[in-house]
Amino acid sequence: MESAIGDRGREPSESRTTAGTRLDADDLTVAYVGGGSRQWVPNLVQDLALSPFDGTVRLYDVDVESAERNAEFGNWVGERAAATAEWEYAATDDLDEALTGADVVLLSTQYDPTETFVHDLDLPKKYGIYGAVAATIGPGGILRAMRTVPTYREFAAAIRERCPDAWVFNFTNPVHFVTRALYDEYPDINAVGMCHEVLHGCDRLAELAGEHLGMDADRSDISVNVKGINHFTWVDEAYCDGVDLWPLLDELARGEEGARRFASEDLEDESPFADPWQVSWELYRRFGLLPFSGDRHIVEYATWFLQGGAEGLNRWGVKRTGSDFRAKHWTPAESEQTTDVEAWLSGDREFELEASGEVLLDVLDALAGGDDVVTNLNLPNRGQVDGIERDTVVEANALVRAGEIRPLSAGGFPRPVRSLVQGHVDTIETVVEASRTGDVDHAFRGFLLDPQVRTLQTEAARDLFAELVAAEEAYLDGWDLEASETLAEADAY
């Protein structure tokens, strides 16, 4: 089936991903790196159980006990009456064993947020930087990239040796840094960065079409021309079942829907994931294109909305994701995750087999020769986004069919938006360049480019950087900390 994003006549870009093989639906080998995942693996297990595929999943994790728990769950789900596919799950703590001969590699890892993420949020706040998420850009996002990218270079090198033609799907944030590093290490890798933010945007457009145009619509009826970088994508075309939505979007942006104001007390009981789209409407009014990621992510790229602390952020209906939330989310008993493998296995919680709604299985089906799919994917820029540096990882629509993923031309940006996007590309490319040799001082240059950091004097930026490095030093393998002049001169390190 076609995914939520139609191609609307867009032409293929000049280059394409072609080295991957056509998948065999009857005998698929999947290597899951991060196989102890508490959310992604249980969702994947259910999707695979309802899929047209049969095969084997190898769950690799340094926390092999978590991977073994998920393997038990996977095999248990396969015995449910509603399961239509046959899958065998096994856990391993040997990366080479997991990757050897794999057809598909899934990447989804995270370090303990109580030792990492909390510092990404709290230390910048000490310096007056009131980030909303700290997940993919800004000082916290850059440190997350620094602790993640060296490991993913190792993954890319292992894939080159053990399964060079495999299709590789990266779900790990920061998606643009990480996917770029995979290609930087192994240029012939068939890697794709995956993110559901655009799909959530399509859900929202379907709701608006229903509310204002009386259309009975869902995500599959929506098509958009999307372009940008992960969590900072934009659309300049939007349709619902062939109906142009742009006049409606313009009306909403300039009417009451786009002019809502919030106070901090209005958000006290709200989830940080709530999204009234007020930042999106404001940027549409200013630039003429509609941002197409959650506002909580957009504000970290378009940093005007971070000024003024909690009050300035909350005015737009955005609630900061605090370090307490991140720490709590890591504890299964206290988190708000929808998956609970142990409770399902023990019978303490009723289990109902259902699809996650993610687009991955549609993509795999298309690669195996099923219906073509057009959806948003993160790939090296080979012409699909005009005016943005070649080879940097951009997010745009791509056509997926048997053995091939072909980016579709999305066009370019008006100069002001191009400037915003390219500025973040420069940060990403600088940090990835630095990771080749572990050059901390070069990574700091990328840190200085970030617009959140540019609110500080250079000495304060240096000290913030040093504090973050000191707090997360145990997770910064691959960086030559001792050789760094930046760290040596910082009072905080």
Which residue is listed with tokens 């590093």? 181
Please report, for residues 4, 181, 221, 362, the alpha-carbon distance to residue 1 in angstroms, rounded to integers and kept in the order given: 10, 31, 12, 7
Burial (CB count <10 Å: 0-12, 13-18, 19+), residue 382: middle
What residues form DSSP beta bridges with 222?
240
Q: Which amino acid is at 279?
A: V
- Asked if 196 is an active-site residue, the reply is yes
Q: Which residues of 345-378 are buried (b: 16+ CB within 10 A; e: fewer)?
A: eeeeeebeeeebebbbbbbbbbbbebebbbbbbb
Q: Which of 119, 176, 196, 231 is catalytic?
A: 196
Residues annotated as part of the active site: 196
